[in-house]
Amino acid sequence: MNIIKAILPYGLVTHKWVLNPKKIIKNILPYGIATIISKRNANKIYTGDYLKSKYVSDLTENEKWALLAILLFLESKQEEVKYLEVGIYAGGTIKFLKENSVKSKFTGVDLFEDFKPSTDNTHMWKNYTQAQVWEALGKERVTLLKGFSVDSLSALKQENKEFDFIFIDGNHTYKATKEDFKHSLPLLKVGSYVAFHNCSPGMTQEDKYYIKLDGGPWKLAHEILLENNFQLVDSIDRVKIFRRKK
Ligand SMILES: C[S@@+](CC[C@H](N)C(=O)[O-])C[C@H]1O[C@@H](n2cnc3c(N)ncnc32)[C@H](O)[C@@H]1O
């Protein structure tokens, strides 16, 4: 590292001047020291214990509660409810749903530590390992499958598995979301639910980026709306939830 850069204030080097007490202190520390502290803090976050203590989820409160409402509705009608999430990252959404439900069973599909950034995948963050996420969620009522989503969905189809509710939130290109949806269809009976994340153009920079890229989940969600095989039952923040009609 360049010695002059290392001793300059962090905020001056990065131009990340933010008016928040913690950030102000970081901004006036020498760059070298601030980056060592940041790395240490990041390592603390990438542990099973951290995941146990927090809901590390990409969803807003509104979005998590909207998914929970569907699960609880299904729980009131059925003996057992099967939920599948495609792309679970740290498992925070499943953690929230599990802790607020009684009989739902959860399956999570992700690449976990095998994820490698690529130009055709919108995911960019460092991932947690499958073992860390499983440790945080507990094994009771939870199954985690590691691998490419389309392979895991095909394997579930081979095993004749069906789900009452599938939440698709993996790679957010239109092409990949459509593939995940296509491979989810054989797992969804008439009357089951499917939801997508990142469907709302005006919400975040990420959503705008996905739309610019190739339409992203927003484009697919609108095709589903227009095709009329699914009924839109809820649309909140960046989530859209559909019920299969045909
Ligand atoms: C936006 S995060 C998921 C957030 C999570 N649903 C939540 O509620 O917090 C996207 C996840 O999809 C996973 N992913 C991306 N492409 C994938 C693929 N082709 N197969 C399986 N998982 C994938 C990434 O590893 C990442 O953990």
Same domain? For 7 and 31 the reply is yes
pLDDT at 223: 97
- Look at 44-53, 99-108, 155-164 and tell me which has the smallest mean pLDDT: 44-53
Phi, psi (deg, nearest 5) at residue 107: -120, 130
209: in domain: yes
Q: What is the distance between the alpha carbons of residues 204 and 207, in angstroms, rounded to a whole number?
A: 5
Same domain? For 16 and 89 the reply is no
Same domain? For 91 and 26 the reply is no
Cβ contacts of 137 within 8 Å, gap of 6 or more? 91, 94, 95, 98, 106, 108, 144
Same domain? For 31 and 130 the reply is no
Cβ contacts of 27 within 8 Å, gap of 6 or more? 9, 10, 11, 12, 16, 17, 18, 34
Same domain? For 139 and 235 the reply is yes
227: in domain: yes
Find tokens 């990949």 and name the residue: 176
Mean pLDDT, range 68-90, rounded to an integer: 97
148 CA: nearest ligand 1 atom: 20
54: in domain: no
As a whole number of Å, the end-to-end CA separation of the chain is 60
The CATH number assigned to the domain holding 147 equals 3.40.50.150
Same domain? For 22 and 140 the reply is no
* Residues 146 and 111 sit within 8 Å (Cβ to Cβ): yes
Using 50, 70 and 90 to split pLDDT, how confident is the model at 18? low
Same domain? For 152 and 177 the reply is yes
171: in domain: yes
150: in domain: yes
Same domain? For 128 and 225 the reply is yes
Is the Cα torsion angle 47, 50, 54, 59 positive or negative in sign?
Answer: negative
Number of separate domains in the chain: 2
**Most ligand 1 atoms within 8 A of CB, residue of 56, 169, 197 to mutate:** 169
- Find the DSSP H helices in 85-173: 92-99, 130-137, 149-158
Amino acid 115 reads F
Question: What percent of the chain is predicted at pLDDT more than 90?
Answer: 74
- 90 CA → ligand 1 middle, Å: 9
The parent domain of residue 106 ranges over: 61-244
User: What 3-state DSSP class applies to 126?
Assistant: coil
Same domain? For 148 and 239 the reply is yes
Phi, psi (deg, nearest 5) at residue 230: -130, 145
pTM: 0.89
Same domain? For 109 and 218 the reply is yes
| Ligand 1 pocket residue status of 166, Cβ below 6 Å | no
> What mean pLDDT value characterizes the chain?
93
Residue 119 is encoded by which pair of tokens?
């130009």
